[in-house]
Every structure is written in C-alpha cells, then in structure tokens.
C-alpha cells in the first residue's frame, strides 16, 4: 500500500473505513491485532494508473481500486492471553505501550490513527527509534502527556515531577522542534473533508486509552458520511463497542 501514498481524500476515506471495520471485527471477538501498520494493509487488486502531478511535476501511481485486506495476525492477542510488555512497530506504538501501563484494543486504534495520517500525507507522523524522543514528538504534536499517566508509568526515568524530562536545546531536542509541529498544522487544505479527517485522527490519538475513540464510534464519525453507497457494508455498528 505504501507505493501509492499520499492518497486523495476520497481514497483515504474508503481505505480507512475498511480498516476500521476489519479491526472492529477483531475487537468484537476480544482480539487485539497489535501490529497494525501500512505494510500489513494490502490492496486486493494493485492495478494502478499513471497520472502526472502538475504541482510536483512528476508521474505518480494512482491505484484503481481501494479494496483492502488486513494481514499478519502473528502477534494478535486475545484478552485472556498473556500480553507482552512491548507490542506494535515503533512508529505506530501507543503511549500506554511505551509507558508500560498495560494495553488492550485501544492500542490498535492509536496505530490506525497513525496509518490514516500517513495515507493522507505520505510520511510517518512519529519518525523515531527512541522512546523518550517518541514521547517528545507526541508532546510537540499533540500536547502534554497527562500527569496521571506519567506518574503511573514504570518508566520513571523519562519524567521529572510528572513532566517529560526532555532537553529542547539538545541535538535531539532541535530535531523534534524542527521536524514536528502542532497537529492541525499538517492539514493540506482547510476544507470540511480534511477537517473531519483530522478531527477523527485526533480522537484516535487521544493519550488516555480509556478516553480514546472506539471503532464503533469511529465508523459513525461524520468523515464517513460521504462514502459511496457501494462502498458501505451493512450492520457495521450492531456489535458491542
């Protein structure tokens, strides 16, 4: 799927709808995927057209059909099974996983939020390989990590008096400052479709997993109201949340 990004907003809508629906099915049976990322979302048919992008002055591949499948259930975990301390590929890892606060289905929702951002813009939101830097990026983009989560974390070395212990004057601090900005500033066009997408992603990137939007709620979000009738699948919100 990563060969085509970024995608037009209508394709982002259809892909994200299917992704949320597929993962909701897992959540309904008490299963957490734990490793959602673009590489684990495949097109059913990868045929594409070559279209010239006049703004970027280059040819680009545009996929013809956006039907998808979710793959790689090797790390999927039922609620009653042992939960590994660390799950998810780094860039799509939820804060409760990094802070070792325990995890369940909401960590998938965080990963989906990161994927939606990547579909829309064509690059990874949290481009890092270090835990503290990852948390600093979150704070730069999404605001401060809740005090309660910081105090409950086993990773006390990351915090000082409940605040992230981060030196913005260091080389890593300058990297975060130069490469991250407030979330809404990433929006390409200030139009209703784009505003709705960013509102949805913000709800998926809620720090507190207990307050994070569920996939049942996600599928009822206004962003999906403009799906074409043939793209909809019936009875998507009838199961438990």
Domain hosting 38: range is 9-74+85-214
* CATH (domain of 66): 1.10.510.10
Annotation says 35 is catalytic: yes
Residue 1 inside a domain? The answer is no
Residue 80 inside a domain? The answer is no
Residue 236 inside a domain? The answer is no
What pLDDT, on the 0 to 100 scale, is given for residue 240?
Answer: 47
pTM comes to 0.93
Residue 184 inside a domain? The answer is yes
The rounded distance, in Å, linking the Cα atoms of 68 and 44 is 5
Residue 227 inside a domain? The answer is no
What pLDDT, on the 0 to 100 scale, is given for residue 4?
Answer: 61
Catalytic pick among 10, 28, 35, 79: 35
Residue 18 inside a domain? The answer is yes
What pLDDT, on the 0 to 100 scale, is given for residue 238?
Answer: 45
Burial class (CB in 10 A: 0-12, 13-18, 19+), 125: buried
Q: How far is CA 84 from CA 34, 101, 135, 150, 184, in A?
A: 10, 12, 20, 20, 33
* Helix (H/G/I), strand (E/B), else coil: 67: coil
Low-confidence ranges of the chain (pLDDT < 70): 2-4, 235-241
Residue 122 inside a domain? The answer is yes
Residue 231 inside a domain? The answer is no
> How many domains would you assign to the chain?
1
User: What would the pLDDT profile of 28-54 be if each residue is shown by its tens digit?
Assistant: 999 999 999 999 999 999 898 888 878
């Amino acid at each position: 799927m990563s060969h085509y990004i970024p995608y037009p907003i209508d394709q982002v809508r259809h892909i994200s709808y299917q992704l949320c629906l597929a993962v909701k099915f897992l959540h309904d049976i008490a299963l957490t995927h734990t490793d959602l990322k673009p590489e684990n979302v495949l097109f059913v048919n990868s045929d594409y057209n070559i279209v010239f992008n006049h703004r970027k002055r280059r040819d680009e591949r545009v996929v013809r059909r956006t039907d998808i499948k979710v793959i790689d259930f090797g790390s999927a975990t039922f609620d009653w099974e042992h939960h590994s301390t660390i799950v998810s590929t780094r860039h799509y890892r939820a804060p409760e996983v990094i802070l070792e606060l325990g995890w369940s289905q909401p960590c998938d929702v965080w990963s989906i939020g990161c994927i939606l951002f990547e579909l829309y813009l064509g690059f990874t939101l949290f481009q890092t390989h270090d835990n503290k830097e990852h948390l600093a990026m979150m704070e730069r983009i999404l605001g401060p990590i809740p005090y309660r989560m910081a105090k409950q974390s086993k990773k006390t070395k990351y915090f000082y008096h409940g605040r992230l212990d981060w030196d913005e004057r260091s080389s890593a601090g300058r990297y975060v400052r130069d490469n991250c900005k407030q979330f809404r500033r990433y929006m390409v066009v200030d139009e209703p479709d784009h505003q709705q997408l960013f509102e949805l992603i913000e709800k998926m990137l809620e720090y507190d997993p207990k307050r994070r939007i569920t996939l049942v709620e996600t599928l009822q979000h206004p962003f999906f109201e403009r799906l074409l009738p043939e793209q909809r699948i019936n009875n998507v919100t009838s199961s438990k949340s």
